[in-house]
């Protein structure tokens, strides 16, 4: 039941959510987006987004050039019994947040409100720990 806009972009810096017992990131909202943004289908009533002061300093984007290789093959071999390879048909674009202290202060300030909101939406079971929540 994720917003379509979120399905298109996937996990982003600033996403608030939890890790399910199955190891899946369960998205709630993004701290950098306005409450009426298409990504943020639902936010706490007192939600105020965290502004990016200077996105070029706060967040680094790494881009790689993709060039098709006609007739190319991909091979994988491993000497251990359990292994895996993830290949993405359309590639990936990593991002790195440089200003972690700002996000930590913001999350600490709003953590109680976020936790109450998530519990009120029944997105977490009563026995789940507060420590299961994440800001990506």
Range of the domain at 45: 4-135
pTM: 0.68
Asked if 44 contacts 113 with a C-beta cutoff of 8 angstroms, the reply is yes
**Which residues pair with residue 27 across a beta bridge?**
17
Is pLDDT at 129 greater than 90 in this prediction? no
Q: Are strands 133-135 and 15-19 parallel, antiparallel or unpaired?
A: antiparallel
What six digits make up the tokens of 28?
């709630």
Min mean pLDDT across 1-10, 53-62, 77-86 is at 53-62
CA-CA distances (angstroms) from residue 8 to 16, 28, 46, 72? 17, 16, 27, 28
Give me the number of domains the chain comprises. Answer: 1
Q: Are 46 and 116 in contact (CB under 8 A)?
A: no
């Amino acid at each position: 039941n994720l917003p379509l806009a979120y399905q298109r972009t996937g996990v982003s810096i600033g996403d608030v959510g939890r890790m399910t017992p199955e190891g899946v990131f369960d998205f709630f909202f993004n701290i950098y987006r306005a409450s009426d943004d298409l990504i943020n289908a639902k936010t706490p009533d007192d939600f105020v987004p965290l502004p990016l002061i200077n996105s070029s300093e706060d967040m680094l984007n790494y881009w790689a050039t993709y060039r098709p290789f006609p007739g190319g093959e991909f091979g994988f071999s491993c000497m251990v019994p359990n292994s895996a390879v993830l290949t993405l048909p359309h590639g990936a674009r990593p991002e790195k947040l440089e200003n972690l202290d700002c996000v930590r202060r913001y999350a600490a300030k709003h953590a109680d409100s976020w936790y109450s909101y998530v519990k009120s939406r029944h997105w977490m079971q009563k026995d789940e720990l507060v420590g299961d929540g994440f800001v990506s």
